[in-house]
Amino acid sequence: MVLTPDQPAVVLTGATGFIGSAVLAELLSQRRRTLVLLRPESNCRRIAPLSGYEGISYTHLGDAKLATQLRDFQPAVLIHCAWRGVAGNERDAAYQIAENLPFTLDSVKLAAACGCRQWIGLGSQAEYGNLNRVIAETAPTLPTTVYGKAKLAAGVAALALAEASGLHGAWVRVFSTYGPGDYPQWFIPYVIRELLQGKRPQLTRCDQIWDYLYVQDAARAIITLADGWTDGIFNLGSGMARPLRQVVEIIRRELDMPPEPEFGALPYRPDQVMHLQADISKLQQASRWFPLVSLEQGLRVTVDFYRQEITEARQVNANAMV
């Protein structure tokens, strides 16, 4: 791979996560000089097929030796994707605040110490809570989970620290992303995997209207913001929303119409968000980014990924029984 020296070098945390690995893949596809910070215990399965980046193992972002190592790389941008506890059953854990907030602030300090000009962190639509409408960045922030409250606090504090440190700082509130390699418990992977295994997924009535963005499009948006020396809070979604039942039907068509899921088998949560949709006009004005992958195209690729994954798992099991 021939790297492009005239583009800003990037430091990336959280590269082994779902969005982080997509950001890394996109950086590499653009031939960007990229340095990935990895914990010793990091599970690198998502980035194992990728090459062309440099990696540094670390235990604490505040380590002075780490800043020295990064200065030799001469980075211009630090993209902070790392966050502990994104699964639904972890969203009210105390470490959402106790660990993730100082970790985020340490990433800002590291960006300043190693000579970066831009810091970008990933927030969440959970910062808004249950508004049930199209959401702009000016909407009230009323998070209902510790996760949402931690993201909100981290974003406010990180942007203030970036400004005080002379950095451009951007906080990207991510709405719902999907694609190959997503966490298996999330809605789209769950539906696909259940149907591929001949099961009938147990679902709510799926009347929710949801904004889904293909993960590669999300990665492009984050990188585009990094190149623009941007400041402030930005919503990241597709800007479009569809009923979840329609999403399920697209998946079923890709699978040649397997048996219908059990709609209504699960009740809605007491705090169920029924309409989740991002107003992305601020992001588009700042970056001129727009999604390239339609929901139908993205779901087709995602279905193919899980079909291949399940086929390979069955082959491994068959070979083990021989």
Tell me the per-residue pLDDT of 237-269, one tens digit each, with 9 for 90 and over. Answer: 999 999 999 999 999 999 999 999 999 999 999
Q: What is the CATH number of the domain that holds 106?
A: 3.40.50.720
Beta partners for 37?
56
How far CA 87 is from CA of 20, 83, 184, 282, in Å, comes to 15, 11, 10, 28
Is the Cα dihedral 8, 281, 161, 21 positive or negative?
negative
Beta partners for 10?
34, 77
Check residue 6 and give its pLDDT.
Answer: 57
Q: What is the DSSP letter of 9?
A: P
Q: What confidence category does residue 302 fall into, taking pLDDT thresholds of 50, 70 and 90?
A: very high
Q: What is the pTM of this model?
A: 0.94
Read off the tokens for 148.
Answer: 């949402």
What pLDDT digit, counting tens, does each position of 158-170 carry? 999 999 999 999 9
Q: What confidence category does residue 5 fall into, taking pLDDT thresholds of 50, 70 and 90?
A: very low
Phi then psi for residue 209, to 5 deg, are: -105, 120
Biggest CA-to-CA distance, the chain? 64
Q: How far apart are CA 39 and CA 35, in angstroms?
A: 13
The answer as to whether 177 is a domain residue is: yes
Are residues 109 and 64 in contact, defined by beta-carbon separation less than 8 angstroms?
Answer: no
55 three-state secondary structure:
strand
- Residue among 174, 192, 216 at smallest CA distance from 30: 216
The answer as to whether 306 is a domain residue is: no
Q: What confidence category does residue 78 fall into, taking pLDDT thresholds of 50, 70 and 90?
A: very high
The answer as to whether 310 is a domain residue is: no
Mean pLDDT in residue range 278-298: 97
Mean pLDDT in residue range 181-200: 96
Tally of structural domains, the chain: 1
Q: How far apart are CA 292 and CA 281, in angstroms?
A: 16
- Above 90 in pLDDT, residue 317? no
The answer as to whether 126 is a domain residue is: yes
Q: What confidence category does residue 2 fall into, taking pLDDT thresholds of 50, 70 and 90?
A: very low
Beta partners for 177?
213
Read off the tokens for 149.
Answer: 């409250």
The tokens 């004005």 sit on which residue?
285
The answer as to whether 101 is a domain residue is: yes
Check residue 1 and give its pLDDT.
Answer: 32
Mean pLDDT in residue range 24-41: 96
Mean pLDDT in residue range 120-142: 98
Mean pLDDT in residue range 286-309: 96
Beta partners for 122?
172
The answer as to whether 72 is a domain residue is: yes
- Above 60 in pLDDT, residue 60? yes
Q: What confidence category does residue 322 fall into, taking pLDDT thresholds of 50, 70 and 90?
A: low
Q: What confidence category does residue 111 fall into, taking pLDDT thresholds of 50, 70 and 90?
A: very high
Mean pLDDT in residue range 28-53: 96
Mean pLDDT in residue range 186-214: 97
The answer as to whether 279 is a domain residue is: no
Phi then psi for residue 172, to 5 deg, are: -105, 110
Read off the tokens for 283.
Answer: 């992001």
Check residue 4 and give its pLDDT.
Answer: 43
The tokens 């699964």 sit on which residue?
87
Q: How far apart are CA 178 and CA 144, in angstroms?
A: 23
Check residue 321 and give its pLDDT.
Answer: 64
Q: What confidence category does residue 89 fall into, taking pLDDT thresholds of 50, 70 and 90?
A: confident
Angle between helices 244-254 and 187-196 (to 10 degrees): 40
Mean pLDDT in residue range 53-74: 95
The answer as to whether 207 is a domain residue is: no
Check residue 3 and give its pLDDT.
Answer: 39
Domain span including residue 217: 10-181+212-239
Please name the residue ranges forming H helices in the chain. Answer: 18-29, 64-73, 95-98, 100-113, 146-164, 187-196, 215-227, 244-254, 281-287, 295-321
Q: What average pLDDT is seen over the chain?
A: 94
